Amino acid sequence: MQETEVLEGSEAVAFAVKACRPQVISAYPISPQTHIVEALARMIADGEMDSEYVRVESEFSAASVISGASAAGSRSYTASSSQGLLLMTEVLYASAGMRLPFVITGVNRAISVPISIQVDHQDTISLRDSGVIQFYVESSQEAYDTHIAAFKIAEDPGILLPVSVCMDGWILTHSYERVSFLEQEEVDRFLPPFKPKNFLDVNDPKSWGSYAEEDVLMEFKYSIHRAMQYGKERIKEIFSELATITGRDHGGLIEAYRTRDAEVILVAMGSMVGTIKEAIDKLRSQGQRVGLIKIRCYRPFPFEDILDNIKVAKVVAVMDANFSMGSEGALGMDLKAKLCGRRGAPLVLDCVAGLGGREVNEKRVLEIVERAREVEESGLPLDEPYWAGLRPEILPEGAENDRQGKIG
Amino acid sequence: MSVREYLRERFMPHLWCPGCGHGIIMNNLIRAIESLGIKKNDIVMVTGIGCSSRISGYLDFHTLHTLHGRALAFATGVKLARPELKIIVPMGDGDAIAIGGNHFIHAARRNIDITAIIMNNRVYGMTGGQFSPLSGYGTLATTAPYGNIYEAFDTVELARGAGASFVARTTTYHVRSMKEIIEKAIMHKGFSVVEILSQCPTYFGRKNKRGDAVEMLKYLKESTAPIGSERKRKNPALIERGIFVEEDRPEYCAEYEKIVEKAQKG
Ligand SMILES: Cc1ncc(C[n+]2csc(CCOP(=O)(O)OP(=O)(O)O)c2C)c(N)n1
Ligand code: SF4
Ligand SMILES: [Mg+2]
């Protein structure tokens, strides 16, 4: 019988991390991540948890400390948000290159400037090329479960990469939800102690990150990509192994929601998924064939699983809570790149939604579905991504003539 | 000019809690600038991130509100581009000495003509009361529920050791000398550091049972003494305040000009 409690999302994550018994934790405060590491600090101080907690002077140091700890053979953990994640970037590329399997909670928050503490995915999306595996979650329960899976995935001998569990700031970290916990013995059985084959061992000296012959870098990088690409099946196995223990199946790399006969399929990740599901139920009850693909694993990109679920779709509408300035949103780009040249591929409607906490409510989702229907009718893609909920009245004059959101 | 003219009233009410020391510092900074008679347009204020750093939003100079810890690096760029302007950089203790510690020591080493004001409340106020490198051994914080085991930096010694040519310390209790010290720091040619011991009643005060803002101000009065004073001699534990370093030393921008001239002469 699992214990269930109503508690803050941050606290749920802290309980998950505690159950995974990391030996080293290091962090620097930044909202909205702070409650997680404060809870861990308290658990360690109260003797409920046996870990070294290193309070450092910046996120750069935090990422470096846990990388060092990981190289020394310890299970290690950190959490950050926004500017803090950006500051970790240089370190994280190196850690992935060194194949260090630690876990980071990426509590999603917008990036300055302008200064904003509201949620969007720009921070973790900026790390998508680093070699860090990325999961996105919809609820506190999923955050709890995914953290437990994350350590096992990171440490899998065929994977060995940092894993980031990304969760929306405030909406998930600061709201209270009912969360069920595993027994410690169950977690211990699922996740045995970290015993890496390679670590800094005084009896068997090895080196990490050294200069390599210039003509091998490409192979090193390809190896990270391989570990991700071929790790996909392993990730799914680990997720389903955990699901049999918890009795909760959040899906594999994706969750397909009412997609089987859907003509319009939305693609999204993070907490907005909950709102989208409700909107879809409503549309379904009106007879519209609409579905959703929730991306749980963003890196590696689960294209095969997406493809399996969009076979009959006419339009796929991607909702990106991030944007690559001067181009498009990341999810939209990934999907279009993979679909390009495939016979019978659906049209893609790319939307930017929820930047800097701009609300994604049912009305907005319905608007997007309507747009998708227009695209379906015209048979043409958009000229430029549609910025859902943009406020033209505060944009510079002339913006009303922009091609944003206009069809072909 | 009245004090109000230095404020951007459209940004009021400010975010500072009742009793926060940051407002006292802003007040005296304005008074110092007013009595020096520096034109608003000749001042550039650069800040990082923190409760303290919000000051750049409230003051009507050229202001650059940047990233946590990076204010001095941005300010160095501003100064090199426009050496004739006065550059003032108010920072929190975390901002200046934790995440921005590297920029701090290197700005001091260059002796670049910037005024750094460290609004030291010994805590990360904005993020909810975690300890900073200036909290000191034994203090309580959200990240140190049973007491902090890290020693604090002595900002004055750090600045002196790194090469700042003007180094002073005062508190939010000592408002008159605060104003004078800020005036001197602004007029000093070189890197000037003013550490102002300030109070955060919301986090440092509550966590450490230091009472309300008034109690905390009283503590700042009682726990400090002028440099070399009788009180300090009698009680060596007191924290000294006053001007520790005030030296005329080659300033970075001036040296830079000279080397350019030299190079161009061939
Ligand atoms: C890179 C980065 N890391 C962390 C933060 C979160 N953060 C904002 S303000 C702050 C500390 C503020 O403390 P201090 O500088 O002492 O200023 P105070 O609020 O006490 O005035 C932190 C850690 C951030 N904005 N950017
Ligand atoms: S939290 Fe502390 S530093 Fe921030 S405004 Fe309140 S009293 Fe001032
Ligand atoms: Mg502070």
- The arithmetic mean of pLDDT across residues A82-104, rounded, is 98
Q: What pLDDT was estimated at residue B143?
A: 87
The predicted complex's ipTM stands at: 0.94
User: Which residues in chain B have their CB less than 8 angstroms from residue A57's CB?
Assistant: 98-99, 101, 133
Name which residue leads in pLDDT, B226 or B144. B226
Atom of ligand 2 at shortest range from CA of B16: 5
Burial letters for B190-222: b for 16+ Cβ neighbours within 10 Å, e otherwise? bbbbbbbbbbbbbbbbebbebeebeebbebbee
- Beta bridge partners, B87, equal B44
What pLDDT, on the 0 to 100 scale, is given for residue A210?
A: 86
At A232-279, the pLDDT tens digits run: 999 999 999 999 999 999 999 999 999 999 999 999 999 999 999 999
State if residue B124 touches ligand 1 by the CB under 6 angstroms criterion.
yes
Domains of chain A: 3-246 (3.40.50.970), 254-401 (3.40.50.920)
Q: Which chain B residues are closer than 8 Å to A46 by Cβ?
A: 145
Question: Is A116 a pocket residue for ligand 1 (Cβ < 6 Å)?
Answer: no
Share of chain A above pLDDT 90, in %: 97
In chain B, residues 126-165 whose CB comes closer than 8 Å to chain A: 126-128, 130-131, 133, 142-146, 150
Question: Which residues from B are below 8 Å from A38, CB to CB?
Answer: 128, 130, 142-143
To test the pocket of ligand 1, the residue of B66, B72, B95 to mutate (highest count of ligand atoms within 8 Å of its CB) is: B95
**Mean pLDDT, to the nearest integer, of A16-45?**
96
Which pLDDT score, from 0 to 100, does residue A2 have?
83
The reported pLDDT for the residue numbered A213 is: 84
Query: What count of other Cβ atoms lies within 10 Å of the Cβ of residue B185?
Result: 24
How close, in Å, is residue A118 to chain B by CA atoms?
14
A350 phi and psi, to 5 degrees?
-100, 130
Q: Terminus-to-terminus CA distance in chain B, angstroms?
A: 49
B115 beta partners: B88, B192
Residues of B whose CB is below 8 A from A123: none
CB B131 to CB A55 under 8 A?
A: yes
Please state, in angstroms and rounded to a whole number, the distance separating the CA atoms of residues B25 and B14. Answer: 14
CA distance A330 to A365: 19
Q: Which residues does A82 contact at the CB level (< 8 Å), separation at least 6?
A: A30, A109, A110, A111, A112, A117, A123, A169
Using the atom order of ligand 1, give the atom closest to the CA of residue B132: 16
pLDDT digits (tens, 9 = 90+) for A107-148: 999 999 999 999 999 999 999 999 999 999 999 999 999 999
The secondary structure element, H or E, covering residue B161 is helix B155-162
Q: Which residues surround ligand 3, an ion (CB under 5 A)?
A: B 92-93, 121, 125
Domains and CATH numbers, chain B: 3-7+17-265 (3.40.50.970)
Name every chain B residue with its beta carbon within 8 A of the beta carbon of A39.
none
* Identity at B104, one-letter amino acid code: F
Residue nearest to atom 5 of ligand 2 (CA): B16
CA distance B142 to chain A (A): 7
Give the nearest chain A residue to B64 (CA atoms): A113
Chain A to chain B, count of Cβ pairs less than 8 Å apart? 45
Ligand 2 neighbours (beta carbon < 6 A): B 16-17, 20, 22, 51, 121, 125-126, 200-203
Residue A1 pLDDT greater than 80, yes or no: no
Q: Measured between alpha carbons, how far is B166 from B180 in angstroms, rounded to an integer?
A: 14
- Which residue of B26, B121, B198, B200 sits with most ligand 2 atoms within 8 Å of its CB, as the best mutation to test the pocket? B200
Question: Cβ contact (<8 Å) for A57 and B145?
Answer: no
How much is the mean pLDDT over chain B?
A: 97
When the pLDDT of each residue in chain A is averaged and rounded to a whole number, the result is: 96
Mean of pLDDT values over A136-162: 98
Read off the pLDDT band of A211 (50, 70, 90): confident
CB atoms within 10 A of CB A23: 17
pLDDT for res B3: 82
pLDDT at A408: 77
Query: Is omega for the bond preceding A113 within 30 degrees of 0, making it cis?
Result: yes
Q: How many residues does chain B have?
A: 266
Per-residue pLDDT tens digits for A39-68: 999 999 999 999 999 999 999 999 999 999
| pLDDT level of residue B1 (50, 70, 90 thresholds) | low
| Mean pLDDT within B83-99 | 98
| Mean pLDDT (whole number) for A19-36 | 97
Query: Which of B15, B26, B126 best tests ligand 1's pocket when mutated (most atoms within 8 Å of CB)?
Result: B126
Chain A residues within 8 angstroms (CB to CB) of chain B: 28-31, 34, 37-38, 41-42, 45-46, 55, 57-58, 83, 112, 115
| For ligand 2, atom 8: residue with the closest CA | B20
Give me the mean pLDDT over the A371-391 stretch: 95
Summarize pLDDT for B185-241 with one digit per residue, the tens.
999 999 999 999 999 999 999 999 999 999 999 999 999 999 999 999 999 999 999
B42 CA: distance to closest CA in chain A (Å): 25
pLDDT interval class at B2 (50, 70, 90): confident
Ligand at minimal distance from the CA of B94 is 1
pLDDT of B4 over the 90 cut: no
Distance from Cα A300 to the centre of ligand 3, integer Å: 40
Closest CA to A387 of A337, A360, A347, A350: A350
- Could you say which ligand is closest to the alpha carbon of residue B97? 1
pTM (2 decimals)? 0.96
Q: Please identify which residue in the block is written with the tokens 């998924």.
A: A273
**What share of chain B has pLDDT > 70, as a percent?**
100
- Dump pLDDT digits (tens) for B11-64: 999 999 999 999 999 999 999 999 999 999 999 999 999 999 999 999 999 999
